[in-house]
Chain A
Amino acid sequence: NAGVTQTPKFQVLKTGQSMTLQCAQDMNHNSMYWYRQDPGMGLRLIYYSASEGTTDKGEVPNGYNVSRLNKREFSLRLESAAPSQTSVYFCASRGQGFNYGYTFGSGTRLTVV
Chain B
Amino acid sequence: ILNVEQSPQSLHVQEGDSTNFTCSFPSSNFYALHWYRWETAKSPEALFVMTLNGDEKKKGRISATLNTKEGYSYLYIKGSQPEDSATYLCALRDNNAGNMLTFGGGTRLMVKP
Contacts and interface: CB of A to CB of B under 8 A. Distances in A.
Interface of A: 31, 33, 35, 40-45, 48-50, 56, 58-59, 90, 94, 98-107
B13 interface: no
30 contacts: A31-B98, A33-B100, A33-B101, A40-B105, A41-B105, A42-B89, A42-B104, A42-B105, A43-B44, A45-B100, A45-B101, A45-B102, A48-B100, A56-B97, A58-B100, A59-B1, A59-B102, A90-B44, A98-B51, A101-B36, A101-B46, A101-B47, A101-B49, A102-B34, A102-B36, A102-B44, A102-B46, A102-B101, A104-B43, A107-B43
Nearest to B36: A101
Interface string B7-37: 0000000000000000000000000101010
Given A42-B105, A43-B103, A59-B1, A99 B98 contact: no
Interface in B77-95: 89, 91
B9 to A, nearest CB: 9
B43 A43 contact: no
Interface of B: 1, 32, 34, 36, 42-49, 51, 89, 91, 97-106
Contacts, number: 59
B89 A94 contact: no
Nearest to B106: A42
B99 A50 contact: yes
A98 B32 contact: yes
A40 B97 CA distance: 27
Contacts of B51: 98-99
